[in-house]
Amino acid sequence: METAIEVRNLVVERGKRRVLHGLTCSIPRGSVTGLLGPSGSGKTTLMRAIVGVQIVKSGVVTVLGEPAGTPRLRHKIGYLTQSPSVYADLTVRENARYFASLYKGITPADADNAVEMVGLGDAANQLVATLSGGQRARASLACTLVSRPEVLILDEPTVGQDPVLRDELWHQFRAMAAAGTTLLVSSHVMDEASRCDRLLLIREGALIADDTPDLVRASAGTNDLDAAFLHLIRTMEKTGVAS
Amino acid sequence: MSPRILGSTTKRILNQLRHDHRTVGLLVIVPILLLTLLYFMFKNEALLPGQPSTFDRIGLIMLGVFPFVIMFLITSIAMLRERTTGTLERLLTTPMGKLDLLFAYGIAFGIAAAIQASIAAGVAYWLFDLDTAGSTSLVILIAIANAVLGVALGLFCSAFARTEFQAVQFMPIVVIPQFLLCGLFVARDQMAGWLQAISDALPMSYAVEALQQVGAHADATDTLWRDLGIVVGCVVVALTLAAATLRRRSP
């Protein structure tokens, strides 16, 4: 399978602390890859490095064959930050239309579609300041999806959403991947992990699993992903290497 | 820079302002209230024949000072919000150029300042009989240039504030020395040499001198155009410095 994102020996330091310790992984095109790990394990830092907004100490990050952060990639990559980054004093529609306007060939109608896609059609004319936390997160997601990027980096897109909406969003992520989009989705909900084509599990800045959900389960000898991860972490702590 | 992105960003900033009715109200009313206060302060002053009234002197300069102060404050808070809410980081991952964002703020708040200055000037001239030798439109033009200077300095200074508390503290640092040394309280040529040197280095001194030229001369003088040129030059310098504070990559 063709590779969309290639990370080699990535080292990132924030302040005096080393957040990523020489991480290497590759993400295939047209797939959904789940990025899992406890809070503070380096998920967001890895995503920021792929988007090209993170100052890195050493290592190489390549997206669609170009170094991460090059101007041409800005047309092709969409990034959803963990906390919603939308304008609270604009309506949902105005936000989506504004971010649409930053891309060539994306129309106001595309913006309205994106708002529908995240289930905010009825709240389109509401000011973001008046929305609930979950709605605000979806408004932010709409602004990321609006440009129909080839690579989507989504930092916890389904946090705080009700189960029905989460299911709908995952159906859309799957549909986008089927149409050729590459998605990297971070989450700490294990039932979402099983919806991914591949899983990356990071802990304390190092990769401890990079496999399909089935193989992760098989290697741990359990059907439960939660238990599988626990097993992997314990094995690694004992032996010092990933199993 | 892209005209499409510049245009839509300007529209977005004006839209944000439009949704905030109270801020729009304050933008229009505050200068009028302060001018009214100023007018009544000097209403009963005893004038010798031929002596120009103090309101003519100070009111004229205030028409240029208000937009500068207000736009500086509004811009530094608006830009700080872009930084703290993550929208700035998001914008920098899109095809938007740094100058698109900075110029959009300059244009959007410049438009707001034009409306504000026109209303304030209208009140000063027709209600309070402000008397200047030169034309009202020149006064408004200088006020707009001064407002855009406030925007540019606000964009730059917001980089050094992490919170709103810090951002508002830059107002006295940036504004008050310029206000004290601009020639309103003490004529610049009567200041001690070193104060005059500082005054010469501060952009508001030139905006005030330009306004004084409008007050004293019927036609636009060379000094006025030179001063206006200096203010515009300072805008360009401040915007360039502000662009340097926008980093696509952060630690």
The domain spans of chain B are 3-41+53-245
Q: Using alpha carbons only, how large is chain A's radius of gyration in Å?
A: 18
Question: B162 pLDDT exceeds 60?
Answer: yes
Is the predicted pLDDT of residue A243 greater than 50, yes or no?
Answer: no
Taking the CA of residue B10 and the nearest CA in chain A, the distance in Å comes to 10
Residue A237: strand, helix, or coil: helix
Question: Which chain B residue is nearest to residue A71, measuring alpha carbons?
Answer: B95
> Which of A73-82, A220-229, B31-40, B189-198 shows the lowest per-residue confidence on average (mean pLDDT)?
A220-229
Mean pLDDT value across residues A13-34: 91
**Helix intervals (H) in A118-239:** 133-145, 163-178, 190-193, 213-220, 225-239
Among B90, B248, B250, the residue with its CB nearest the CB of A85 is: B90
Cβ distance of B87 and A98 shorter than 8 Å: no
Q: Does A127 touch chain B (CB under 8 A)?
A: yes
CB pair distance less than 8 Å for A52 and B248: yes
Q: What is the mean pLDDT of chain B?
A: 91
pLDDT at B78 over 70: yes
pLDDT, tens only, B147-156: 999 999 999 9
Q: What is the rounded distance in angstroms from the CA atom of residue A191 to the CA atom of residue A203?
A: 19
> For residues B30 and B79, what is the distance between their CA atoms, to the nearest angstrom?
22
Averaged pLDDT of chain A: 89
Contact indicator for A143, A129 with CB cutoff of 8 Å: no
For residue A47, the model assigns a pLDDT of 94
What was the pLDDT predicted at A240? 57
Residue B203, token pair as written in the block:
């952009």
Position A1 pLDDT exceeds 90: no
Whether residue B93 and residue A88 make contact (CB cut-off 8 A), yes or no, is: no
Contact B123, B34 (CB under 8 A): no
Query: What is the amino acid identity at position B50?
Result: G
What is the predicted pLDDT for the residue at A145? 94
Compare CB distances from A74 to B9, B12, B95 and report the shortest one's residue. B95
Q: What is the pLDDT of residue A188?
A: 75
Please tell me the distance from the alpha carbon of residue B109 to that of residue B74, in angstroms, as a whole number: 9
Query: What φ, ψ does residue A127 adopt, rounded to 5°?
Result: -70, 140
Question: Is it the case that residue A241 has pLDDT exceeding 60?
Answer: no
pLDDT digits (tens, 9 = 90+) for A180-219: 999 999 987 777 888 899 999 888 888 888 888 888 888 7
Residue-level pLDDT at A148 = 92
Percent of chain B with pLDDT over 90: 65
Distance (Å) from the alpha carbon of A238 to chain B's nearest alpha carbon:
33
Chain B residues touching chain A at CB-CB below 8 Å: 4-5, 8-9, 11-12, 15-16, 19-20, 85-87, 89-96, 248-251
pLDDT, tens digit, for every residue of B29-70? 999 999 999 999 988 888 877 777 888 889 999 999 989 999
Contacts of A69 in chain B (CB under 8 A): 248-249
Q: Which residue has the higher pLDDT, A234 or A172?
A: A172
Domains contained in chain A, CATH given: 1-76+184-243 (3.40.50.300)
Would the CB atoms of A90 and B19 count as touching at under 8 Å? yes
Beta bridge partners of A198: A33
Q: By the CB < 8 Å criterion, does A85 face chain B? A: yes
